[in-house]
Structure 1
Amino acid sequence: MSVNTEKNTPAAEGGPAVEAVALESEARAERDDSVYTHTFKHPFSYQGVTIEKLTFDWGKLTGKDHLAIENELLLRGKTLVTPEFTGEFLCGMATRACTDRNGDGFRILNMEVLKAMPMRDFQTICKRARAFLLRAGS
């Protein structure tokens, strides 16, 4: 009769359990949707400024930002029913979440810049904002 002398501790030896933990940790990092970097397929130019990528930190937004976006829309006569499905709300959210600044420290992204983007990029950014809101509500 043969005796199995292998230890049943794959984690201590770097076996499958360690790999599983590493994969799980990696998957958690990928699910962290609070920061999104959008890279343009073709650099986007608006009023002499060329943008190749934009970074959005959805997680930095606060209730104060939500109310400010809401108030801006109301001042323009826009009715807000459900923020996550209102394009202009998502645009306001994107402008506030964008972390990119010019040399003077001012935001490089505003509603006009967003509206001038190619539709594919515009939609991708809005969908990321919507996805963040929808996951936050679950």
Structure 2
Amino acid sequence: MSKENIIDYKEEAALAVAEEKKAKTQPEEGVYIHKFEKPFTYNNNTVTELTFDWDALTGGDYDAIEEELVRKGITLVLPEYTGSFLAHMAVRSCTTRNANGLRFVDREFLRAMPIRDYKALLGKARSFLLRRGSM
């Protein structure tokens, strides 16, 4: 392992500890509304905000996400720090629907989001798990 990789891991670990402390001091938020700076369009769906109801998720959702990722060959050591797990969690908790009442936010929708929005969303999902004392 190179010296650069060791530094990266140390920085990631320090960031994770800081995020966990911050998450535990913030008030509970079972519902998160993500507001975009400018309207975001993907597959003919334009949104200015998305709503995520973390509290609506169940143990069955957790297991289903974990099983799907394992089938794809993704090993989960700490799901709250795994972007794929957090993104799947966000997809399952998104309550925003299109004009026909259909779910349109999927993994590809999230991947197409601007990186700033994507990282903010994953950070909120992570904070929710950490505040709940999971894992």
Alpha-carbon distance in 1 for matches of 2:125, 2:109: 16
Corresponding residue number in structure 1 for 2:46 = 50
Q: What's the CA shift for 1:75?
A: 1.3
- Which whole-Å deviations, capped at 9, do the CAs of 1:76-117 have from their partners, x for residues lacking one? 111111110000000000001111112343322110000000
Corresponding residue number in structure 1 for 2:117 = 121
- Which of 42, 60, 63 pairs up with 1:64? 60
TM-score (norm 1): 0.75
Listed as ranges, the matches of 1:91-106 within 5 Å are 91-106=87-102
Gaps of 5+ in 1: 1-29
Corresponding residue number in structure 2 for 1:26 = none
Between the aligned residues of both structures, percent identity stands at 51
Corresponding residue number in structure 1 for 2:81 = 85
Alpha-carbon distance in 2 for matches of 1:45, 1:105: 17
Is the aligned partner of 1:108 residue 2:104? yes
Alpha-carbon distance in 1 for matches of 2:28, 2:131: 10
Corresponding residue number in structure 1 for 2:130 = 134
DSSP 3-state at the match of 1:81? coil
Of the two structures, which has the highest relative contact order with CA contacts closer than 8 Å and spacing of 6 or more? 2
Gaps of 5+ in 2: 1-25
- Which whole-Å deviations, capped at 9, do the CAs of 1:18-77 have from their partners, x for residues lacking one? xxxxxxxxxxxx823111100000111102211110001101101000000001101111
Kindly name which structure, 1 or 2, has the bigger radius of gyration based on alpha carbons: 1
TM-score (norm 2): 0.77
Instruction: Report the number of matched residues.
Output: 109
